[in-house]
């Protein structure tokens, strides 16, 4: 169907077929004008002129061509609507891809405005926040809060106002102009607008042994797996906030941690202070200018980490390694879409958080220029929700 098709329905308030036709066009995301030929002489005259005389109602006019009381099948053919059957037979207002803090915050706002909101989450509801041991810098919690508790609270708040969280994956987004077609693990669904808030995932070292020993001595989640290393020795790789925070967390289990930092520690002042205390106690040893080369094991378990410290080969005999070296945006599924990404794979948006597809917005860690904090992800989610509302209001008939 041409995206420029001009569609008018001439009908009357009591005409059931007219209402059904309008609903059918709404369901398929078709913009149209609605004119009451009973209450407006002008509309009646227009209708008769287009129909070439008296006409049965509803009269559907597509680019000045009149069709009296067409069937839905005829309308679908006229407007080229046949291709996109949706699995749930609905035209959603907004589908959010991801159910981390950004999307959950957005969903609180959209659902409170009665904007039908569905979220798709292929992994953990709450995203990386849910697996963060402790959050001390999210405003409103003077004693801090566990990441999982914060995530579950956000989830409950979104669901309280009617957000529907589906456990599944969105595989592609196709722009159909007035609506977007999403291919999901539930089948195709149609939506007037989209929020992409897929966040980011752990960067891998890409060294030999990393994949082989994943879950068997190589880990990316301290809250998940730290307890398996009670009275054991670990390596933690990384020098930013996550690495230092999680290393501090892991000391409650381990006998000793070697923190391998590629150049220098970049963590916040407060975390560095806590780290220094543990270094003084002998629970953590920090190794600067140390690059991890290989993860080695035996009998399905990690036994040592081979590294270069100041260029000198150094071996750490440990029972496991936890890796926190940064995050990559979850945008692989957008590679063949019309949504522009920056050179690092983050989604480019304008000042209104809209991507290069009208009606598709992005917020949180996945967005180019995001500051990778829970607080800013939530703020962007709220902003995106207001922008979504504006977009939907501006694009309703």
Partner 1 sequence: MKQVTVYSQNSCASCVMVKKWLAMKNVEYKEVNLDEEPAQREYVQKMSGSSTVPVVVIEDKASESTAISIGYKPAQLATIVA
The set of catalytic residues is 221, 224-225
Please select the residue that binds partner 1; options are 229, 333, 346, 391, rule is CB under 8 A. Answer: 229
Provide the mask over 336-355, with x wherever binding to partner 1 is found by CB under 8 A and - wherever it is not.
--------------------
**Mutual angle of helices 72-79 and 16-27, in 10-degree steps:** 40
Does residue 151 belong to the site contacting partner 1 (CB under 8 A)? Answer: yes
User: Smaller CB distance to partner 1: residue 1 or 170?
Assistant: 170
Q: What is the DSSP letter of 356?
A: S
Strands 59-62 and 218-219 come out as unpaired
Burial of 65 (0-12, 13-18, 19+ CB in 10 A): exposed
User: Smaller CB distance to partner 1: residue 49 or 224?
Assistant: 224
User: Smaller CB distance to partner 1: residue 215 or 394?
Assistant: 215
Please select the residue that binds partner 1; options are 23, 45, 167, 338, rule is CB under 8 A. Answer: 167
DSSP string, 22-34: HHHHHHTT---EE
Smallest distance from partner 1 to CB 232, Å: 10
Q: What is the DSSP letter of 178?
A: S
Structural contact between residues 62 and 1, judged by C-beta atoms closer than 8 angstroms: no
Does residue 200 belong to the site contacting partner 1 (CB under 8 A)? Answer: no
Does residue 146 belong to the site contacting partner 1 (CB under 8 A)? Answer: yes
Does residue 152 belong to the site contacting partner 1 (CB under 8 A)? Answer: yes
Count the residues of the shown chain that bind partner 1, applying the rule CB under 8 A: 28
Please select the residue that binds partner 1; options are 50, 124, 291, 327, rule is CB under 8 A. Answer: 124
Smallest distance from partner 1 to CB 44, Å: 53
- Could you tell me which stretch among 68-76, 79-87, 142-150, 355-363 binds partner 1 (CB under 8 A)? 142-150
* Core vs surface per residue 245-284: b (16+ CB within 10 A) or e: bbbbbbbebbeebbbbbbeebebeeebeebbeebeeeebb
Please select the residue that binds partner 1; options are 20, 49, 87, 224, rule is CB under 8 A. Answer: 224
Tokens at residue 160, please? 């309280």
| 309 DSSP β-pair partners | 290, 312
Please select the residue that binds partner 1; options are 29, 123, 238, 364, rule is CB under 8 A. Answer: 123
Does residue 148 belong to the site contacting partner 1 (CB under 8 A)? Answer: yes
Does residue 135 belong to the site contacting partner 1 (CB under 8 A)? Answer: no
Does residue 231 belong to the site contacting partner 1 (CB under 8 A)? Answer: no
Q: Which residues contact 362 (CB under 8 A, 6 or more apart)?
A: 195, 196, 197, 347, 349, 353, 355, 384
Task: Compute the distance between CA of residue 191 and CA of residue 23 in angstroms, rounded to an integer.
Answer: 15
Please select the residue that binds partner 1; options are 12, 17, 172, 223, rule is CB under 8 A. Answer: 223
Distances (CA, A) of 277 to 156, 167, 271, 282, 283: 38, 42, 10, 9, 9
User: Smaller CB distance to partner 1: residue 44 or 219?
Assistant: 219
Residue 58 preceded by cis peptide, ω within 30 = yes
- Which chain residues interact with partner 1 by CB under 8 A? 122-126, 130-131, 133, 146-148, 151-152, 167-168, 215-217, 219, 221, 223-225, 227-229, 300, 320
């Amino acid at each position: 169907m041409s995206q420029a098709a001009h569609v008018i329905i001439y009908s009357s308030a009591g005409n059931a077929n007219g209402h059904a036709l309008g609903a059918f066009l709404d369901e398929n995301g078709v913009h149209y004008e609605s004119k009451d030929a009973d209450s407006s002489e002008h509309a009646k005259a227009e209708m008769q002129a287009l129909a070439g005389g008296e006409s049965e109602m509803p009269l559907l006019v597509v680019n000045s061509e009149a069709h009296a009381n067409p069937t839905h099948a005829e309308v679908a053919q006229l407007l080229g609507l046949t291709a996109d059957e949706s699995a749930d037979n609905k035209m959603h207002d907004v589908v959010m891809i991801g159910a981390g803090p950004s999307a959950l915050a957005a969903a609180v706002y959209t659902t409170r405005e009665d904007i039908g909101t569905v979220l798709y989450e292929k992994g953990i509801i709450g995203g990386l926040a849910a697996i963060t041991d402790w959050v001390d810098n999210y405003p409103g919690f003077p004693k801090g809060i566990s990441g999982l508790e914060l995530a579950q609270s956000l989830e409950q708040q979104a669901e309280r106002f009617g957000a529907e969280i589906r456990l599944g994956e969105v595989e592609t987004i196709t722009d159909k102009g007035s609506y977007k077609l999403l291919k999901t693990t539930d089948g195709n669904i149609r939506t007037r607008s989209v929020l992409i808030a897929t966040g980011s995932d752990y960067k891998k070292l890409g060294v030999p042994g990393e994949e082989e020993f994943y879950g068997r001595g190589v880990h990316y989640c301290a809250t998940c797996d730290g307890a398996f290393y009670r009275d054991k020795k670990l390596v933690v790789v990384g020098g930013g906030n996550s690495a230092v925070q999680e290393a501090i967390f892991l000391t409650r289990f381990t006998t000793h941690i070697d923190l391998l930092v590629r150049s220098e520690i970049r963590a916040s002042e407060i975390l560095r202070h806590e780290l220094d205390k543990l270094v003084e106690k002998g629970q953590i040893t920090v190794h600067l200018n140390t690059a991890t080369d290989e993860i080695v094991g035996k009998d399905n378990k990690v036994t040592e980490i081979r590294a270069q410290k100041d260029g000198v080969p150094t071996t750490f005999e440990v029972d496991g390694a936890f890796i926190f070296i940064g995050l990559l945006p979850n945008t692989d599924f957008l590679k063949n879409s019309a949504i522009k990404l920056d050179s690092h794979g983050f989604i480019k948006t304008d000042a209104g958080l809209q991507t290069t597809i009208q009606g598709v917005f992005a917020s949180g860690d996945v967005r180019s220029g995001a500051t990778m904090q829970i607080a800013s992800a939530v703020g962007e989610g709220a902003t995106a929700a207001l922008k979504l509302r504006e977009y939907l209001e501006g694009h309703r008939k």
